[in-house]
Structure 1
Amino acid sequence: MKLYFLNEFLGDIRNINVDGMWINAEITPSKNIDKFNDFFLAIVDEENDFEETNYNEEWLDDSNWYIIDDENRRKGIYIPAVYPDREINWRWR
């Protein structure tokens, strides 16, 4: 599987596990993910409130995030949580 934002490839996803509605996996990031690092850190930081006004509106639009599965099908996801240890969690839309 592959993670995309709009038409930008952000990384390969592997070792997928399903836990109820959530999917957990590992991501091998592409260099394109670098600009999202602060955004993802803010999303997963449970100690602080996430301030939407600090980020690009396109990044906050769930319809811009998707995964290409192993059969090359595009599947929409809600904004993923990408952790510093390169764990990724998401839900299908």
Structure 2
Amino acid sequence: MKLYFLNEFLGDIRNISVEGMWINAEITPSKNIDKFSDFFAKIVDEEADFEETNYNEEWLDDSNWYIIDNENRKKGIYIPAVYPDREINWRWR
């Protein structure tokens, strides 16, 4: 599987598991993910105040995030949580 934001490839996803509505996996990031580092750090930090006005509106639009599955099908997701240890969690839209 592959993670995308709009038409930007952000990384390969593997070792997938499902827990309720959440999908958990590992991501091998592409260099394109670097610009989202602060954004993802704030999303996963439960103690930080996430200020939406600090980020690009497109980044906050769930319809811009998706996964290409192993059969090359595009599947919409809500904004994923990408952790520093390269764990990724998401829910399907």
* TM-score, structure 2 normalization: 0.99
Matched, 1:68 2:54: no
Alpha-carbon deviations, 1:25-71, whole Å to 9, x = none?
A: 00000000000000000000111121100000000000000000000
User: How big is the shift at 1:3?
Assistant: 0.0
Q: Distance in 2 between matches of 1:14 and 1:46?
A: 25
Once structures 1 and 2 are overlaid, which stretch shifts more, 44-53 or 64-73?
Answer: 44-53
Q: Distance in 1 between matches of 2:9 and 2:77?
A: 14
Partner of 1:88: 88
Q: Distance in 2 between matches of 1:82 and 1:48?
A: 15
Instruction: Give the secondary-structure state (helix, strand or coil) at the position aligned to 1:72.
Output: coil
Instruction: Give the secondary-structure state (helix, strand or coil) at the position aligned to 1:15.
Output: strand
Runs (4+) of structure 1 exceeding 3 A deviation are none
Alpha-carbon deviations, 1:58-92, whole Å to 9, x = none?
A: 00000000000000000000000000000000000
Q: Distance in 1 between matches of 2:69 and 2:23?
A: 13
Q: Distance in 2 between matches of 1:54 and 1:85?
A: 24
Identity %: 91
**Number of residue pairs matched?**
93
Unpaired runs of at least 5, structure 2: none
Instruction: Give the secondary-structure state (helix, strand or coil) at the position aligned to 1:53.
Output: helix
Once structures 1 and 2 are overlaid, which stretch shifts more, 48-57 or 66-75?
Answer: 48-57
Instruction: Give the secondary-structure state (helix, strand or coil) at the position aligned to 1:63.
Output: helix
